[in-house]
Amino acid sequence: MSSNNVILVTGGTGLVGQAIKHVIETEPEGSRFAKLPGEKWIFASSSEGDLRDPVQTRQLYEKYKPTHVIHLAALVGGLFKNMKYKLTFLRDNLLINDNVLEAAHESGTTKVISCLSTCYPLDENKIHTGPPHQSNFGYAHAKRMVDVQNHAYKEQFGHNFTSAIPTNVFGPHDNFDLEDSHVIPGLIHKCYLAKKNSTPFVVAGTGKPLRQFIFSRDLAKLFIWMLRSYDDVEPVILSVGEDEEVSIKEVADAIVNALDFKGDYTFDTTRADGQFRKPASNKKLLTLMNGFEFTPFTEALDLTAKWFLENYDTART
């Protein structure tokens, strides 16, 4: 990458966008993840333009004239919201992705990295193999289509559009809403309230499902690496290894420790578990990028819980 690049991050106010902002602002000079001289980073929120709307999307591109786009904006939700609003998750995400890629095409943006999801057991060659889990098929199908679009833009126009596949992300600036959040922020908030109100800490489901969790600031570094060093249309899974799966019970235990919760702690086995595993291989990532060190899970979880306590008044709750 040369200097004088303008990097537009859509969804710049979200969990991953804020992590990229943190890394860009705090990495020391000389680090391979530090901001380069002449680079201009824009972190866009939905208030700057609703990307479901093609006109507003085009206006955003006209305003910033990005040379590169990290496209994170999406309608994202937890298991229960995904189950309830399948059409909204499908349509909003199809519209957002189509508008962002087409505006990049029209305005001559040189590179776009979009986000797929891990809603199916996979390595990079299995994205289109088999149906996604029924709990989130709207979101999952919309995400899959980004890969189809990237290939079509490449084959018809030669564009450098690609995608990343993060596994379950957590960290500061997550959505800590009690009903509509991913498992880690939801449980941190629940445990915080249980401690505050001296009530039991009840975890939905059996605690047995397994997940690969990636700390948002590790993921941010991997996006910066992709931006600078990865120029292939095929997606890359950005994740810790399959051997680093953590059970929901281990997550809850770590939260209980992080918040120093001493009350009753149980599992509500009448609630849905979702998929038992969503294994995703990070072999390709490790082959391409030698020597990346992931933050240990409990260290990242402690940091996230601390951030939540310190930012309770302004966090998304």
Task: Give bridge partners of residue 266 from the DSSP assignment.
Answer: 202
**Spatial distance between the Cα atoms of 36 and 18, rounded to a whole number of angstroms:** 18
Q: Which residues, other chains included, contact 231 with Cβ-Cβ below 8 Å and sequence gap of 6+? A: 111, 160, 162
The mark string for 258-277 relative to ligand NDP (x by CB under 6 A, - otherwise) is --------------------
Among 15, 127, 194, 255, which residue sits at the site for ligand NDP (rule: CB under 6 A)?
15
Number of residues that bind ligand NDP (CB under 6 A): 26
Nearer to ligand NDP, 194 or 219 (CB): 219
Least CB distance to ligand NDP at residue 262 (A): 30
Instruction: Candidates 24, 90, 140, 169: give the one binding ligand NDP (CB under 6 A).
Output: 169
Is residue 188 near ligand NDP by the rule CB under 6 A? no
Torsional sign, CA 130, 131, 135, 136: positive
Q: Which of 132, 166, 185, 235 binds ligand NDP (CB under 6 A)?
A: 166
Q: Which residues are catalytic?
A: 139
66 scored as a contact of ligand NDP (CB under 6 A):
no
Q: Which stretch binds ligand NDP (CB under 6 A): 47-55, 81-89, 224-232, 275-283?
A: 47-55
Residue nearest to ligand NDP (CB): 14
DSSP secondary structure string, 87-114? HHHHHHHHHHHHHHHHHHHHHT-SEEEE
Q: Which is nearer to ligand NDP, 180 or 273 (CB)?
A: 180
Residue 119, helix vs strand vs coil = coil
The Cα–Cα gap between 167 and 274 comes to: 15
Q: Which of 5, 20, 33, 52 binds ligand NDP (CB under 6 A)?
A: 52
- Is the Cα dihedral 200, 186, 172, 237 positive or negative? positive
175 counts as binding ligand NDP under rule CB under 6 A = yes
- Least Cα distance to 191 among 27, 301, 70 occurs for 301
Is 183 near ligand NDP (CB under 6 A)? no
Nearest to 311 by CA among 154, 173, 142, 197: 173
Site residues, ligand NDP (CB under 6 A): 11-17, 45-47, 50-52, 72-76, 96, 115, 117, 166, 168-169, 175, 182
